[in-house]
């Protein structure tokens, strides 16, 4: 029966679900909402998580509490059309398995989703590990290790997607279609393993979309590409898909 077939829907978080970069937003919890130069100039390409480890320690040293950080994450606005898309998906949960893959951190992502009332939509939130230390500080560790030359040291989303599909296959779950909603270069990496029956929803004029366009010119990108500037376009596409099935 067609109605029993599931679609796997994968969401990025920063500048996809929320309309800003959540890592950059934590500065709002800092004294005078700014970080010292020695800290903000210590970012190394590909090792952003190490910078965020230092930021969280600095905020802790300055007396910033967990509740202050949570409050920042809770206030980050969702991207245009995203609340409507999520409300639509809430009504169709039997048709989808929905996961989130983010190079931000579990504490921030879950704080945001819970505040907006959409946490229950996701079967799994995959992000860099956070824990509350004895002193009350929030600490951050990379999600995993990998050998991908194109991704940040903390996370290769292609590896995660590939492993997730293998894991679900062992559970006896296969998907009719995989759909990926993202914006960044690290969302392009998993999109190249999508097949001709899958869909890449790439945010217009963001790195994922620009990189896909280059691949399309070479004729090497397999998935159907649906660019979006509002998540209404994602919802409309999915609605049409469900109408046909």
Residue 23 labeled ligand binder: yes
Q: What is the pLDDT of residue 1?
A: 32
Q: Is 45 annotated as a binding residue?
A: no
Contact at 8 Å (CB) between 69 and 55?
no
Instruction: Give the model's pLDDT for residue 45.
Output: 86
Task: Single out the residue of 128, 121, 75, 67 nearest to residue 97, CA to CA.
Answer: 121
Query: Among the options 12, 68, 232, 236, which is catalytic?
Result: 12
Q: Following DSSP, what letter does each residue of 179-237 receive, concatenated?
A: EEEE-SHHHHHHHTT--TTSEEEEBTTSHHHHHHHHHHHHT---SEE--BSSHHHHHHH
Does pLDDT of 94 surpass 80?
yes
pLDDT at residue number 206: 97
Ordered structural domains, the chain, with CATH: 2-244 (3.40.50.1000)
pLDDT per position as a tens digit, 112-167: 999 999 999 999 999 999 999 999 999 999 999 999 999 999 999 999 999 999 99
Q: Which of 14, 24, 37, 84 is catalytic?
A: 14
The answer to whether residue 14 is catalytic is yes
Contacts of 212 (CB under 8 A, 6+ apart): 188, 191, 200, 202, 221, 225
Q: Which of 67-71, 92-96, 153-157 is predicted with the least confidence, judged by mean pLDDT? A: 92-96
Is the pLDDT at 3 greater than 60? The verdict is no
Q: In the annotation, is 12 catalytic? A: yes
Q: Is 37 annotated as a binding residue?
A: no
Question: What does the pLDDT read at residue 46?
Answer: 84
Residue 141's SS3 state is: strand
* pLDDT tens digits, 6-65: 899 999 999 999 999 999 999 999 999 999 999 989 998 888 999 999 999 999 999 999
Determine phi and psi for 155, rounding to 5 degrees: -165, 130
pTM: 0.95
Alpha helix ranges (H) inside the chain: 22-25, 37-40, 48-61, 66-75, 82-90, 106-116, 157-170, 185-191, 207-218, 231-244
Tens digits of residue pLDDT in 183-238: 999 999 999 999 999 999 999 999 999 999 999 999 999 999 999 999 999 999 99
Residue 4 has pLDDT above 90, yes or no: no
Contact indicator for 42, 51 with CB cutoff of 8 Å: yes
């Amino acid at each position: 029966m067609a109605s029993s077939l599931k679609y796997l829907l994968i969401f990025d978080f920063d500048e996809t679900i929320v309309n800003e970069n959540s890592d950059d937003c934590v500065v709002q919890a800092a004294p005078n909402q700014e970080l010292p130069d020695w800290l903000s100039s210590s970012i190394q390409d590909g090792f952003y998580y190490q910078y965020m480890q230092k930021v969280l320690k600095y905020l802790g040293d300055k007396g910033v509490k967990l509740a202050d950080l949570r409050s920042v994450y809770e206030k980050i606005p969702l991207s245009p059309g995203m609340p409507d898309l999520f409300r639509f998906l809430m009504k169709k949960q039997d048709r989808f398995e929905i996961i989130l893959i983010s190079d931000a951190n579990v504490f921030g992502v879950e704080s945001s989703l819970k505040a907006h009332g959409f946490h229950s939509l996701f079967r799994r939130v995959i992000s860099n590990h956070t824990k509350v230390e004895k002193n009350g500080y929030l600490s951050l560790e990379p999600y995993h290790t990998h050998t991908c030359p194109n991704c940040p040291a903390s996370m290769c989303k292609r590896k995660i997607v590939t492993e997730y599909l293998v894991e679900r296959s062992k559970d006896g779950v296969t998907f009719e279609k995989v759909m990926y909603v993202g914006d960044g270069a690290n969302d392009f990496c998993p999109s190249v393993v999508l097949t001709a029956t899958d869909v890449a929803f790439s945010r217009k004029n963001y790195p994922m979309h620009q990189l896909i366009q280059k691949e399309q010119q070479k004729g090497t990108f397999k998935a159907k590409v649906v660019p979006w500037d509002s998540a209404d376009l994602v919802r409309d596409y999915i609605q049409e898909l469900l109408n046909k099935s």
